[in-house]
């Protein structure tokens, strides 16, 4: 069911964001956790708004509907402050470093 998938992704993004904030408050390094939070949150925003448009059908594309603007706003979050692909590179680099893998 779409609503359940939407909620699961929202909760996952929220928990990753809280985790990064908690690490920052403790003064711990947050490079990987911040990249994970941004990647998941930005892709979740796009997924959730796209699903909302699907639920609303043709009305979801009407500019008078808030969801249409939310979708456009969500798409830009995957681009500014580091694209999703850049976040993936940061995460992968952190994992290589964490596990002592040299490339």
Positions annotated as catalytic residues are: 81
Distances from the Cα of 8 to the Cα of 2, 44, 48, 87, angstroms:
10, 10, 10, 21
Distance, CA of 25 to CA of 43 (rounded, Å): 25
- Residue 20 and residue 37 in contact, taking contact as beta carbons nearer than 8 Å: yes
């Amino acid at each position: 069911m779409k609503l359940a998938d939407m909620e699961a992704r929202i909760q996952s993004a929220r928990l990753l964001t809280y985790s990064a904030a908690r690490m920052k408050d403790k003064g711990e390094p947050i490079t990987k956790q911040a990249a994970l939070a941004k990647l998941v949150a930005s892709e979740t925003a796009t997924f959730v708004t796209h699903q909302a448009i699907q639920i609303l059908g043709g009305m979801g594309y009407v500019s008078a509907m808030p969801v249409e603007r939310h979708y456009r706003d969500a798409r830009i979050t995957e681009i500014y402050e580091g694209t999703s692909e850049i976040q993936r590179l940061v995460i992968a680099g952190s994992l290589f470093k964490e596990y002592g893998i040299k490339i």
